[in-house]
Structure 1
Amino acid sequence: MYTTRLQDETRKDVAFDVNVRMVLLAHELGLGYAALKKISKVLGIPALHLKTYQRHDKRVTGSSKAMEQESAKRMWARSVNRHQVRYTEMLSDGDSAAFREVVALNPYPGHEVVKLECINHAHKRMGTAFRKLSSQGKLGGKGVGKLTAKKCKTLQNYYRGAILNNQGSIDQMKAEIWAGLLHGMSTDDSPLHTRCNPSWCWYRKAEDNGETPGSHKLHSANFLKREVGQKLIP
């Protein structure tokens, strides 16, 4: 293992990080040890020793999640000594193994590390769930009221909008998430718009303007049959 000078100090942990990144680079490019040596020569940096490469290669070849977990643990473990700061929040995706590892590490006794949910990841997961349901049974297809790809996208965007518009209130957020689904299931005989937001609901917008809402048949592009919509309820 070679060392790297940073601010006139020999930092073995930095050298370790550089070595790991070099092996990751080789994997990303589909290269082996010989090619990595050539890259090091072109860059004018010492090449990894073969045994060092093989050791890190075993780590990298494993799970990318394991690498993420190890990286998170290292960042949190050294933040106070290296930077005199505490990372009190972690933005992560869903059931994050990296977050669990950091919590188990307890890097700052007496100070909690809080997990923040990524809205974009939540939005993506919801779209995936809708498309998966669409492919099952008779929910999807091209018929009227079916869960088409376009309707999956619309419901997915309603979900994201509900989160963005109500970040200060969990109750309001839940209400608007439900509103997006019920909005699509509404008919003239059974309008379900009480939870809808007038900013995107044509029915509520008409009511707020003192007008009589038009027929749902004029807004059938996002219509979901009641039996289809009920399958989307958790």
Structure 2
Amino acid sequence: MNINKREGLFVILSFQCSSCNNTITIGTSPKVVASDRRDINIRSQIGGHLYGIRCAGLAKLMGAMNLPSPIQDQIYSKWDKNLLLSIKSFSNRSMTRAVNEAVTAANGRELMVSGDGFWQTRGFQSRHGAAALLSCNTTPKVLDIETCSKTCNVCIGALAIKKSNPVKYNDVIRSHQCEKNYNKSSGTIEAHTVLNMFKRSVSKYGIYYTSYVGDGDSKTFTSLSNAKPYPGQNIIRLQMAFASTVRKCKHDLDLLLKRTWAIFWHKYSTNEDPRHDSCSIDWCGYLKAVRNGTPYDHAPHALPHPVLDAIKPVFENLCFRESVARVVDASSQNQNEGFHSLVWLMSPKHKTTSGTTFETAFHLVIIIFNDGYFTLGDLFNNICGYRGHYTNQAMIHFDNSRLHSESKTNNRKTRKEADRSVQKNVDNDQTNNNNAPGDDNDKTINSDKQTDDDYNETNSDNQPTSEDNDTTTDSDECITDDRDSTSSSDDSSTDSDDKTILSLDTKTNEDIERNDGTSDNEYGYYNPKDRRRISNSL
């Protein structure tokens, strides 16, 4: 056996018979249609982007596995630009479908969108940045994206020959497509890119972004208001809202206004001057104590009046009717943060990269975020000529893991709501028993068990997490909205939630039975001893 030729991971092997000297030549990977590239090299290149390791990471991986190194870095960069064009075409189709779904859900072409910027590296010195607009319906998807680059790798590399070979330098500068398209500070990228997407919404999709959900710490909305992308039409600004108070009252403006001021007056109350008219008995310890006929001491829970008087102007600025109206429906940017987390998996912030690599990463994320991993099979089919059996199996596994995590999150939320309902029924029964006729002298009060504000409870299930960014006062306001969580750490729980499995043949969701002791992270098709009972459709 001899190796006649090698191109990256592709090799041509020849076998010669020792008896008749007949020679057979075998290639280890098919050639891509209308191209000189090999299937294995293209798939490894896409895999490098999906895992965020790129050419240098692939070289280390292949070396550790005792395999040939991938294609040279110069050829890799050239192929990256061609690969980006194919990925862009698929992501643009995905965003167009997402716009049509948003228009159908809104029953009109005036949409509410959430926007947020992200940068390739930490801080405001990043050379590359972008912003995405996502729909705000029940299934948020990416509608549009814009990128900015402050440098170009080709321009920087050509500086090495500017003095020694000016003719070649000029040829390189004229012939290449420069990545640099932004000259201002990195901190202004978000406002610039969001404004561009608003300006082209009508020409690109025929829609209007009439409501914008922002994070409140950027100049984006000011830029939109000054530029007026839609003449004669105002854009409504919606601040992010995380507190449980807002979520519970998000459809009732009057109740929302009342409950927000309840936070202030609850802390302002004293034993001599209780002010709990706006509080809810669900979380207010004073109202519970009155209901149960137990004593209540405000001292451990109240804040000093001078402190509250100092922050009262802040409440007056934030909790007036027009301001509170902005957070009706409790819109947030959680979907944007989930999108960003996927981008950082494919383009880590601690690694310097080119604009092409950065764009490739977030266009791949658009396809995955909008339509799931299985849709990447269409990309492989378009570039390589076929999807591949194991590629299909892997993408199905990734989607199943994603759906399973979401199912477990929803089930936990349902259980929390059920527990709250049970506790409320118990409290009501206790109230009825206390109001029943009987000998009041038989009722004793233990001062050690006095009703306290619920925010002193230490139940970890009801405490806010670092991802919630909630401002809370009592435990009932500390309950987080699990549907906004995208953490994969929930997979470690041991509940018996059902799985939703994506069928290979039907490309729909079907239920399968629970694993018989097999880890949820194992590929069933790689493990010959796998005992999972999968539906016949697979």
Contact 2:213 2:238 in 1 (8 A): yes
The alpha-carbon deviation at position 187 of structure 1 amounts to 2.5
SS of 1:233's equivalent?
A: helix
Structure 1 residues 227 and 105, CA gap change in structure 2 (3 angstroms)? closer
Matched, 1:201 2:262: no
Structure 1 residues 223 and 32, CA gap change in structure 2 (3 angstroms)? farther
5+ long unaligned stretches in structure 2: 1-80, 91-118, 121-125, 130-150, 158-171, 314-538
1:179 alignment counterpart: 262
Question: Whole-Å Cα distance in 2 between the matches of residues 202 and 172 of structure 1?
Answer: 20
Question: Whole-Å Cα distance in 1 between the matches of residues 229 and 307 of structure 2?
Answer: 48
Contact 2:127 2:186 in 1 (8 A): no
SS of 2:270's equivalent?
A: coil
Corresponding pairs, count: 159
SS of 2:260's equivalent?
A: helix
2:238 alignment counterpart: 116
Matched, 1:230 2:305: no
The C-alpha deviation readout for 1:37-78, integer Å capped at 9, x for no partner, is 7xxxxxxxxxx969946x54733xx141x2111101210111
The C-alpha deviation readout for 1:7-51, integer Å capped at 9, x for no partner, is 49xxxxxxxxxxx979417xxxxx9948x97xxxxxxxxxx9699
Contact 1:185 1:223 in 2 (8 A): yes
Over the residues paired in the alignment, what is the CA RMSD in angstroms? 3.8
Contact 1:182 1:193 in 2 (8 A): yes
1:24 alignment counterpart: 128
**Structure with greater contact order relative to length (CA < 8 Å, sep ≥ 6):** 2
What amino acid does structure 1 have at the position aligned with 2:260?
I
The alpha-carbon deviation at position 170 of structure 1 amounts to 3.8
Matched, 1:164 2:247: yes
The alpha-carbon deviation at position 116 of structure 1 amounts to 1.4
Larger proportion of strand: 2
Contact 2:152 2:178 in 1 (8 A): no
Question: Whole-Å Cα distance in 2 between the matches of residues 33 and 57 of structure 1?
Answer: 14
Structure 1 residues 229 and 102, CA gap change in structure 2 (3 angstroms)? closer
Larger proportion of helix: 1
Contact 1:23 1:57 in 2 (8 A): no
Structure 1 residues 76 and 169, CA gap change in structure 2 (3 angstroms)? same
Q: How does 1:20-169 map to 2 (within 5 A)?
A: 23-24=127-128, 33=153, 52=178, 56=181, 58-59=183-184, 62-64=185-187, 66-94=188-216, 96-120=218-242, 160-169=243-252
The alpha-carbon deviation at position 183 of structure 1 amounts to 1.6
Structure 1 residues 101 and 226, CA gap change in structure 2 (3 angstroms)? closer
Structure 1 residues 231 and 101, CA gap change in structure 2 (3 angstroms)? closer
What amino acid does structure 2 have at the position aligned with 1:100?
T
Question: Whole-Å Cα distance in 1 between the matches of residues 228 and 280 of structure 2?
Answer: 42
Matched, 1:215 2:293: no
The C-alpha deviation readout for 1:141-199, integer Å capped at 9, x for no partner, is xxxxxxxxxxxxxxxxxxx3332232234443332222212222322222121111111
What amino acid does structure 1 have at the position aligned with 2:309?
Q
- In the superposition, the TM-score normalised over structure 1's length comes to 0.53
2:499 alignment counterpart: none
The alpha-carbon deviation at position 118 of structure 1 amounts to 0.9
1:28 alignment counterpart: none
Contact 1:69 1:101 in 2 (8 A): yes
Contact 2:267 2:303 in 1 (8 A): yes
The C-alpha deviation readout for 1:94-133, integer Å capped at 9, x for no partner, is 375222322333333344322111114xxxxxxxxxxxxx
SS of 2:246's equivalent?
A: helix
- In the superposition, the TM-score normalised over structure 2's length comes to 0.26
5+ long unaligned stretches in structure 1: 9-19, 26-30, 38-47, 121-159
Contact 2:269 2:275 in 1 (8 A): yes
Question: Whole-Å Cα distance in 1 between the matches of residues 287 and 192 of structure 2?
Answer: 50
Structure 1 residues 86 and 118, CA gap change in structure 2 (3 angstroms)? same
SS of 1:88's equivalent?
A: strand
